[in-house]
Amino acid sequence: MRFKEYKDRSKVSGATILMGLMVMAFGTIGLTAWVSILSARSEQVRNYEFQISHRISKLNTESIIKQSIYDNCLNSDKRTFKLYRVPNKNDVAIVRGTNGSTFLSKLSPEKYLRIGHGNGGGFQSSVLASIFTKRRNSGNINLAEGPNHFLKNYYLRSRSPILSGDLLVMHKPINSWNLNRKLFGNIHVYGNSMLWNLSELKIGDKIRTASYAIPGISNDVSVKPLKNLQDEFIAPLNFPIKAHTTGIDAEGSSYSGVLDVIDPGKSAPWSVKSAVEELANVRVNGSAVYNRGRGVMSDGSGIVNVDLGSPFLTNVIIGGNVKELHFNGQSGFVFSRADQLPAVVIIMDDSSGSSFNLSKIYFHGKNMRRLVVCVKKRIDLAMYPVDYAFTDKSGNTVWRMILIAENTHLVAVNDDIAFGDFNLIGGISTDRSFEWSNNIEKRLVIKREASPGFLEYLAPRTAWLESFRKNN
């Protein structure tokens, strides 16, 4: 007996079973594909992990090499050989040292880095390093040439920052406690100004500079922006720069801007005094009479005169006991040809003790001779200012000079300065105050030395590290 609504369900049941089998088949295929993709992705991630691990190993090894070069090669004058093995990695770094300090190098760079400290010149000493890295998915380390081994040339390079364009450098003093440091006056810098330890430096409103940088600035330091040569406020450069140093800095593990290059002692890698002692030089003391026709005279009572127009003038080391230091420039025929005279360094160093306190420095006339003037006072006399003045009255004085002042507070004597522009070709580097006249009609213009010549060898340097992959 059939009910009226009854239908034959055998066909429906068969279709349902077929649909279920198809779903199971496609599900199996999909699951298999998903497992395959997951496995491939897992292998890819694993390979990425190997690559990242290898990259980290290489970076760590390179960091060890750089630290070794800074520790063992920067100040050394002997070739050293160092082998380092990275713990738990079995990576190996081999550092072959350099024959001499980069601060004393006379070898010009093979390649130039067109930005930064050594823009267009300087010197270098090279260090060859070998790096061996072990891949996690390989066997023992392979010391043969191959993908896990490569050579790198590291270059310790050095050049005077003033010759590279930092025309005004206000360094951090060795002892900055209770100091009233100032950068003051109507000064126009046609280059970069480097301002260390800005929190303890007062800057006048009439300072103008093409650019400026503030190394080591922190967020808690309030910065007053400077104006450029067009009288517009500009921000400091402060782009990342390579770590650099002018020598030994005992205040920490990195260079903090201390200026100690004139006569820092035997432990320092380089000094102006030691460099001059290897060249032709004469020694003078303010307490002894000296007049031997060498372009420098001492009256024995603390007054020393230097004749920059004399063809017989050589490098001079003044061993203290000086009250007044007079630099006499050239005029007329000699001035027009002073560029042909040999570059000289004049050092006034009373850091070891003196009966007199240096109180006056005068620059008479004009000068076109390449000149480095280094003045260093004893630390306990640094609080007493030194008056200085350019005495030429022509209204457009030109002085070619790199001035390095340590522990010396320089204050211009306004009454002795004539109206007009005073053009300083070279630059100034000091760790104390530098004050000029604030009169708008008495302007100090600092411009870059365009033809340094032998000044490259004589001027104090800063050093930094560069590296290049060795292809052969």
Dump the DSSP string for 242-294.
Answer: --EESS--TTSSS---B---SS--TTSS--HHHHHHTSSEEEE-TTSEEESSS
Q: What is the pLDDT of residue 143?
A: 40
Q: Is 343 in the same domain as 237?
A: yes
Structural domain of residue 99, as residue ranges?
52-159
Q: Is 62 in the same domain as 147?
A: yes
Of 136, 159, 182, the position where a domain reaches its end is 159
Is the predicted pLDDT of residue 117 greater than 50, yes or no? no
Q: What is the pLDDT of residue 378?
A: 87
Confidence of residue 141 (pLDDT cuts 50, 70, 90): very low
Q: What is the pLDDT of residue 257?
A: 84
Of 105, 136, 159, the position where a domain reaches its end is 159
Residues 80-100 have a mean pLDDT of 73
Q: What is the pLDDT of residue 309?
A: 95
Percentage of the residues of the chain whose pLDDT score is greater than 70? 80
Give the separation between CA 138 and CA 361, rounded to whole angstroms: 70
Token pair for residue 245?
Answer: 């140093």
Give the separation between CA 357 and CA 154, rounded to whole angstroms: 45
Q: Is 60 in the same domain as 174?
A: no
Q: Is 176 in the same domain as 153?
A: no
Q: What is the pLDDT of residue 177?
A: 62
In a domain, 253, yes or no: yes
Residues 146-155 have a mean pLDDT of 71
Q: What is the pLDDT of residue 250?
A: 59
Give the residue carrying structure tokens 């007079």: 326
Is the predicted pLDDT of residue 405 greater than 70, yes or no? yes
DSSP 3-state of 192: strand
Q: Is 199 in the same domain as 145?
A: no
Q: Is 329 in the same domain as 438?
A: yes
Give the separation between CA 367 and CA 390, rounded to whole angstroms: 11
Q: Is 397 in the same domain as 248?
A: yes
Is the predicted pLDDT of residue 238 greater than 70, yes or no? yes
Q: Specify which residues 156 forms β-bridges with.
A: 125, 465
| pLDDT tens track for 178-234 | 678 899 999 999 999 999 888 888 999 999 999 999 887 666 667 788 999 999 999
Residues 301-315 have a mean pLDDT of 95
Which region holds residue 273: left if phi is over 0, alpha if psi is between -120 and 50, else beta?
alpha
Q: Is the dihedral of CA 188, 193, 195, 196 positive or negative?
A: negative
The least confident of 6-15, 109-118, 255-264, 427-436 is 109-118
Confidence of residue 64 (pLDDT cuts 50, 70, 90): confident
Q: Is 358 in the same domain as 436?
A: yes
Query: How many domains does one find in the chain?
Result: 2
| pLDDT tens track for 439-464 | 999 999 999 999 998 998 999 988 88
Give the separation between CA 240 and CA 258, rounded to whole angstroms: 20
Give the separation between CA 408 and CA 205, rounded to whole angstroms: 23
Select from 412, 294, 397 the least CA-distant residue to 342.
Answer: 294
Is the predicted pLDDT of residue 322 greater than 70, yes or no? yes
Task: Name the residue with higher pLDDT: 23 or 137.
Answer: 23
Give the residue carrying structure tokens 């440091």: 181
Task: Name the residue with higher pLDDT: 10 or 379.
Answer: 379
Yes or no: say if 190 and 167 are a contact pair by the CB < 8 Å rule: yes
Is the predicted pLDDT of residue 465 greater than 70, yes or no? yes
Q: What is the pLDDT of residue 50?
A: 73
Q: Report the largest interatomic distance among the alpha carbons of the chain, rounded to a whole angstrom.
A: 148
Q: What DSSP letter does each residue of 212-224 carry, written as one string?
A: EE-TT--TTS--P
Q: What is the pLDDT of residue 222?
A: 72
Q: Mean pLDDT for the chain?
A: 82
Q: What is the pLDDT of residue 119?
A: 54
| pLDDT tens track for 288-299 | 999 999 999 999
Q: What is the pLDDT of residue 60?
A: 81
Q: Is 373 in the same domain as 276?
A: yes
Q: Is the dihedral of CA 254, 260, 261, 264 positive or negative?
A: negative
Residues 238-257 have a mean pLDDT of 69
Q: Is 282 in the same domain as 381?
A: yes
The pTM assigned to this predicted structure is 0.83
Q: Is 167 in the same domain as 82?
A: no
Q: What is the pLDDT of residue 466?
A: 80
In a domain, 6, yes or no: no
Token pair for residue 311?
Answer: 């063809």
Q: What is the pLDDT of residue 422?
A: 93
Residues 380-391 have a mean pLDDT of 90
In a domain, 90, yes or no: yes
What beta strand segments (E) does 110-175 contain?
123-132, 149-159, 166-170
Task: Write down the H helix ranges in 192-331.
Answer: 272-277
In a domain, 349, yes or no: yes
Q: What is the pLDDT of residue 114?
A: 47
Q: Is 102 in the same domain as 168?
A: no
In a domain, 432, yes or no: yes
